[in-house]
C-alpha cells in the first residue's frame, strides 16, 4: 500500500482531461496498484472520494464512498466504489445546492449546484459493469469526482461566492 501526495489546485495536471482506461488493462498490476493507492490515500486523508489525477495519474479512475465521514458528518453513507471510465447522465434537470470540499483545495468549502438525480455507468476494479441511479449526496460525490476527470475543480462551479470560504470559519466543528 502507498499513500500518495495529493496535488493541489494550481497544478496544471488537475486541469487536464484524463484518458480512458483500456478495459483489457484493468486487471494489470499497473492499474490495480493505482486503484489501491487511490483507496489508501483517500482513507488516510479522510476523503469522501478521490480521482486519479489528484495523485498525478491522468486516467479515468475515481474512488469514493464511506460509512461515516468526519469531513461530511451529516451525510448518509455512500457505498465504497471504484469507478473506471465513468459516464454520467442526469435523470432530470433538477439541481440542488450543497457544500463541497476537495482534498486538492484544502481548508476551503463552497456551495455548488449539482444534479439531484443521475445515472452513472462505468467499470469496477474487476472490469465488471457498474450501472446505478442515485440521488442526493451520492450523486453529488460522483459528479464532483468525475469533474476531476475533465479538469474541473469545484470552485469553478461555485456560483455564489458569498458561500465560499475557509472551513475553520464556516464549520468550526469540523
Q: Which residues bind Ni ion (CB under 5 A)?
A: 102
Active site annotation includes 145 = yes
Helices (H), 80-164: 136-148
Closer of 82 and 102 to Ni ion (Cβ): 102
Q: What is the rounded CA–CA span in Å between residue 79 and residue 63?
A: 10
- Cβ burial, residue 166 (10 Å; 0-12/13-18/19+): exposed
Nearest to 64 by CA among 42, 86, 44, 45: 42
Rounded least distance, CB 123 to Ni ion, Å? 21
Query: For residues 142 and 134, is the Cβ–Cβ distance under 8 A?
Result: yes
Handedness of CA 122, 128, 134, 138 (dihedral sign): negative
Nearest to 153 by CA among 106, 89, 118: 106
Which candidate in 17, 67, 94, 145 is catalytic?
145
Closer of 84 and 102 to Ni ion (Cβ): 102
Active site residues: 145
Amino acid at each position: 500500500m502507498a499513500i500518495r501526495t495529493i496535488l493541489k489546485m494550481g497544478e496544471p495536471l488537475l486541469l487536464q482531461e484524463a484518458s480512458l482506461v483500456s478495459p483489457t488493462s484493468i486487471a494489470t498490476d499497473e492499474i490495480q496498484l493505482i486503484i489501491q493507492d487511490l483507496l489508501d490515500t483517500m482513507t488516510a486523508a479522510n476523503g469522501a472520494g478521490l480521482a486519479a489525477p489528484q495523485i498525478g495519474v491522468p486516467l479515468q479512475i475515481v474512488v469514493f464512498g464511506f460509512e461515516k465521514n468526519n469531513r461530511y458528518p451529516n451525510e448518509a453513507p455512500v457505498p465504497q466504489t471504484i469507478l473506471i471510465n465513468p459516464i454520467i447522465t442526469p435523470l432530470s434537470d433538477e439541481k440542488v445546492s450543497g457544500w463541497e470540499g476537495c482534498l486538492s483545495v484544502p481548508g476551503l468549502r463552497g456551495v455548488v449546484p449539482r444534479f439531484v438525480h443521475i445515472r452513472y455507468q462505468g467499470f469496477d476494479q474487476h472490469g465488471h459493469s457498474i450501472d446505478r441511479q442515485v440521488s442526493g449526496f451520492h450523486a453529488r460525490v460522483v459528479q464532483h469526482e468525475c469533474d476531476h476527470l475533465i479538469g474541473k475543480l469545484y470552485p469553478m462551479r461555485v456560483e455564489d461566492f458569498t458561500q465560499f470560504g475557509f472551513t475553520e470559519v464556516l464549520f468550526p466543528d469540523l
